[in-house]
Amino acid sequence: MAVPSSSTPVLSLRGATKRFGGLVAVNNLDFDVMEHQVMGLIGPNGSGKSTTLNLISGALRPSAGSILLRGAPITHLRAHAIARRGVARTFQLVRVLPSMTVLENIRAGAVFGHRRRWGHEADAFATQMAEKVGLAGKLAMRVSQLTYIDTKRVELARALASEPRVLLLDEWLAGLNPTELGEGIALVRRLRDEGRTILLVEHVMDAIRSLCDACVVMAAGAKIAEGTPDEVLSDPEVIRAYLGEEDA
């Protein structure tokens, strides 16, 4: 295996495939996410985007193919081992820890994630991440008291608190109202400007255009296009996949 260098992709999928019985949810998928890159994974509903994130994070095991983190295979590792190697994620349907405060939720990432902290150090870092996502002053609140966007912020801060090598955002902007959406996009842009490596599944086109350096477009489990957002969104095959045959 090659020594990781700046030219080694942070994350690589090679022939990644997931079958559920007869259904091929992800079909022979190849792509690379480079360091400091924000990669968008887009496509119509049911095209296999979330399944792809689940394969990377270890929530599901690939049926075939391999997934590499900085050149080292993580294909058959369990989710906790993948998290420790530096993959952090948010969930399509928000998952926060209901019995805990905002600070404790975020500390979960700081204590058990890629870079592990404990005690005051964990608290200080979790607090710093809370401030970064706009939760300053809400640290002692129970998550049940939060607005929807704030629960999403908690999830994001929990993922950031592990200092991941790559951050997976599964429709992090979905379900936000127009005002919140503006705040959400601005927040992800700040993460991008910090030089973080992000793979995001998204439906919001404004977000894709303004945030992503590159996009992979999926349809029916397979990659149908890859390039900058402007390139792929004007690709006839992509338009056909989104709008159907007759409108193309």
Partner 1 sequence: MTGQELRALILSTLALAAAAALPALGSSYWLTMGVTIAMYTVLATSWALFSGPTHYISLATAAFFGVGTYTTAIGIELLPYWTLLPIAAALGAVMAALVGFATLRLSGVYFVIFTLGLAEFVRQIITWVQNLTGQKGLYVLTDLTEKHIYWQLLGLAALVYLAGWLIARSRLGFALRIIGDDEEVARHVGIDTALAKIVLFMVPGAVAAVAGAMLAPRYIYIEPSLAFTPMLSFQVVIMALLGGTGRLWGAVVGVIPFTLLWEAISASFPNQTTLLLGVAFLVIVYLLPRGFVGLLEDARRRLGGGGW
Residues that bind partner 1 (CB under 8 A): 57-59, 78-81, 83-84, 88-89, 91, 95-100, 107-109, 111-114, 116, 118, 158, 162
**Please, which residue, 27 or 54, has the CB nearer to partner 1?**
54
**Please, which residue, 121 or 183, has the CB nearer to partner 1?**
121
Q: Where does residue 68 fall: left (phi above 0), alpha (psi -120 to 50 degrees), or beta otherwise?
A: beta
CB of 100 to partner 1, least distance (A): 7
Strands 87-89 and 198-201: unpaired
Strands 87-89 and 166-170: parallel
**Please, which residue, 59 or 239, has the CB nearer to partner 1?**
59
CB of 126 to partner 1, least distance (A): 12
CB of 232 to partner 1, least distance (A): 29
The 3-class secondary structure across the chain, one letter per residue, is: CCCCCCCCCCEEEEEEEEEECCEEEEEEEEEEECCCCEEEEECCCCCCHHHHHHHHHCCCCCCEEEEEECCEECCCCCHHHHHHCCEEECCCCCCCCCCCEHHHHHHHHHHHCCCCCCCHHHHHHHHHHHHHHCCCCCCCCEHHHCCHHHHHHHHHHHHHCCCCCEEEEECCCCCCCHHHHHHHHHHHHHHHHCCCCEEEECCCHHHHHHHCCEEEEEECCEEEEEECHHHHHHCHHHHHHHHCCCCC
**Please, which residue, 36 or 84, has the CB nearer to partner 1?**
84
CB of 121 to partner 1, least distance (A): 13
Nearest-10 crossing angle of helices 148-160, 102-112:
20
**Please, which residue, 40 or 164, has the CB nearer to partner 1?**
164
**Please, which residue, 81 or 124, has the CB nearer to partner 1?**
81
CB of 83 to partner 1, least distance (A): 4
CB of 90 to partner 1, least distance (A): 9
**Please, which residue, 34 or 141, has the CB nearer to partner 1?**
141
CB of 148 to partner 1, least distance (A): 17
